Structure 1
């Protein structure tokens, strides 16, 4: 397995595979770098079989920025130190389009702020009243690489499709059982006109 690009953090020791996330946040660490798809096994597993041969070598650009926020209640007394890390990832994943069955590059451009908790118990009890902040459990041997991979996975669409397909595969237009493509909304049944029914009655007399 190749080694991801190891950026130099600003005055903070950093390793993409294992780093002290608490220290990184307390010291205001900031890093940016690139990691190849081949170094992200779960992303590689999602990559289409017919993807270009260069797909495993394509890279994701990431940034991680840590910071600490002190909170006081009264008289300037510090009651807690909250740790956060901002994560951004940009790149692309080659997926199979469910509409035309051809491979296409799905763009990834995601950013998220995480509050770093000291334990699972603290994470479970953390208030979830801010949709812009998620919670993760930090450690002194935290893997930022796995966090980057998680963010890419979460950004993948549940139903991959081109914005505009070059063509719709015929098997998806009309299948062997004669059904129309699942994505096409069923036509509403037309209710018989009462006037047509009256006309029918008149023709019987």
Structure 2
């Protein structure tokens, strides 16, 4: 049997070191209701079905033997590739309506035996992150971490289905456009204008 065949794993207690050394591979679904921090980020007005949705994931471990420099002892480095897809219901900050924001994230992690080893490792690759493994590693928490990191800081529809009344000005119902940052910078500060008046007296 090939060591990299997809096999069922315990997401809450996984021997991550053995998983990576054996070239393990796993794929499946995680229910949103099993991710409390994601539920906390979910919009209050999200449909009831939001709790029944799932994230799909794939996890692949592998080991690499290499020496730091010619003649140096060969060491084994362990890696984990994790990809997660799904959606989170959020409040649009433009129209204030709830919407399903698609999430698709993938990351490669190097697995270390301790915090000290992870801190000492040179991490100059933006596509590589460090995690501390264990024989009872929670892959579920790592999946939740990755979803949280993928959430937008300011969630918005690509195109809002409607405009909130607070953004509509005038009798003709015109929408007040968002001022570009450079225009906002050009606007005189009211405090600067006040200081100018004081200097004229």
**Unmatched tracts of structure 2, length 5 or more:** 170-174, 189-201
Separation in 2, partners of 1:131, 1:146:
21
Alignment of 1:19-38 (within 5 A): 19-38=14-33
What SS is found at the alignment partner of 2:48?
Answer: coil
What TM-score does the superposition give when structure 2 sets the normalisation length?
0.80
Partner residue of 1:102? 97
Q: 1:79 aligns with which of 52, 58, 74?
A: 74
Separation in 2, partners of 1:154, 1:121:
24
Confirm or deny that 1:114 pairs with 2:120.
Answer: no
Whether the 8 Å contact between 1:123 and 1:137 is mirrored in structure 2 is: yes
Q: 2:164 aligns with which of 144, 169, 190?
A: 169
User: Shift of the alpha carbon at 1:79?
Assistant: 2.0
Q: 1:151 aligns with which of 139, 146, 151?
A: 146
**Unmatched tracts of structure 1, length 5 or more:** 1-8, 175-179, 191-205
Q: 2:122 aligns with which of 111, 123, 127?
A: 127
Q: 2:39 aligns with which of 44, 47, 64?
A: 44
CA 1:17–1:189 in structure 2 vs 1: closer, same or farther (change >3 Å)? closer
Partner residue of 2:194? none
Whether the 8 Å contact between 2:108 and 2:128 is mirrored in structure 1 is: yes
Whether the 8 Å contact between 1:12 and 1:27 is mirrored in structure 2 is: no
Q: 2:13 aligns with which of 9, 18, 24?
A: 18
Whether the 8 Å contact between 1:112 and 1:132 is mirrored in structure 2 is: yes
Separation in 1, partners of 2:47, 2:53:
10
What SS is found at the alignment partner of 1:54?
Answer: helix
Equivalent residue pairs, number: 176
Separation in 1, partners of 2:176, 2:132:
44
Separation in 2, partners of 1:153, 1:183:
28
What TM-score does the superposition give when structure 1 sets the normalisation length?
0.79
Whether the 8 Å contact between 1:89 and 1:111 is mirrored in structure 2 is: yes
- Runs of 4 or more, structure 1, over 6 Å off, are none
Separation in 2, partners of 1:11, 1:111:
18
User: Shift of the alpha carbon at 1:10?
Assistant: 3.2
Separation in 2, partners of 1:82, 1:139:
15
Whether the 8 Å contact between 1:68 and 1:83 is mirrored in structure 2 is: yes
